[in-house]
Amino acid sequence: MDRFYEWLAALARSGRLPAAFEYPFLVRGLLAVLVIAPLLGGMSHLVVARRLAFFSTALGQAALTGLTVGLLLGEPLDAPYAGLFGFCLLAALGMVFVKRHASLPPDTLIGVFMALTLGLGICLLVAVTKQFNIHQIEAVMFGSLLTVTDRDLLLLLVVGLGVGTVLTLRYNVLVADSLDPSLARVRGANTVLVEYLFVLLLTLAIVASLKVIGALLVEAMVVVPAAAARNLARSLRGTCALSIVAAFVAGTSGMYLSTQWRVPTGGAVVLILSALFFLTLLAGRIVRR
């Protein structure tokens, strides 16, 4: 990768590329956006259709606990992947299992899991701060496109390709189950397995993106792009395409604002997404009139 960064820097110095490409950390941030935009933006319309916005928030909270578990088990601070993926997957599958076997509303059950994981994470965080400074954990909590490493990029790419391949192969079944599970069952789909599959894919995508967008802000990246796209789109595929565009615009713009104003990248991305939502809401009303 060093040769690749040097090649881009040479092009930037010669004037063929913008000056920002002279800096490897900006290049890594841009590459991360190119992966995350289709990954989370492409799943966003399915998350909204399946009413999993609150579920995404719970996963973000569970990531804090997974981070502390990984650190307590001896994982390095910059790559506590086993703790993050392991705990978040257990929490996600547990929420789906309880939801399918309990009579309480799904949002109530997810709230119980969120309270459990958050309380456990706060208690474990006290033990972790005896070994690490709390400011060292902020990158996972709030995210930063400017601190992405080559290892983070590789993880994003592998997860993105894997999740994208499965979504492409099972897209019609996932859409049918999202819009009308009974119709999906009539067509021969195993809706139980479909639900577990989508939750698994969503969890992998969210956890792989935490270093970039942050655990506390990840819900915005999987909900707001589709919300903004639905203000303008007239079809499901149109919603998917506009969601990816919104995620890409927010990612690149947030990275630019972060470098110019020295604000957290994750927060800047969320602010851009929110602005896009209200702009598309206004544009959609004007078009309908």
Residue 169 amino acid letter:
L
The average pLDDT across 41-58 equals: 85
pLDDT band at 134 (very low <50, low <70, confident <90, very high): low
The average pLDDT across 75-99 equals: 84
pLDDT at 133 over 70: no
Please report the domains of the chain, with CATH numbers, ordered by start residue.
28-288 (1.10.3470.10)
133 vs 31, residue with greater confidence: 31
Residue 124 — φ and ψ, nearest 5°?
A: -70, -30
3 vs 165, residue with greater confidence: 165
pLDDT at 141 over 80: no
Q: In the prediction, which pLDDT does 73 show?
A: 82
Residue 222 amino acid letter:
V
With CA atoms as reference, report the closest residue to 225 among 255, 249, 209, 246: 246
211 vs 280, residue with greater confidence: 280
The average pLDDT across 146-160 equals: 83
pLDDT band at 120 (very low <50, low <70, confident <90, very high): confident
With CA atoms as reference, report the closest residue to 42 among 254, 238, 217: 238
The average pLDDT across 81-110 equals: 85
Residues in the chain: 289
pTM for the model: 0.87
Q: In the prediction, which pLDDT does 161 show?
A: 92
Q: In the prediction, which pLDDT does 140 show?
A: 65
Q: In the prediction, which pLDDT does 267 show?
A: 79
Sign (positive or negative) of CA dihedral 179, 111, 82, 89 = negative
pLDDT at 144 over 80: no
pLDDT at 264 over 80: no
The average pLDDT across 259-272 equals: 79
1 vs 163, residue with greater confidence: 163
pLDDT tens string 179-204: 887 877 877 778 888 889 998 999 89
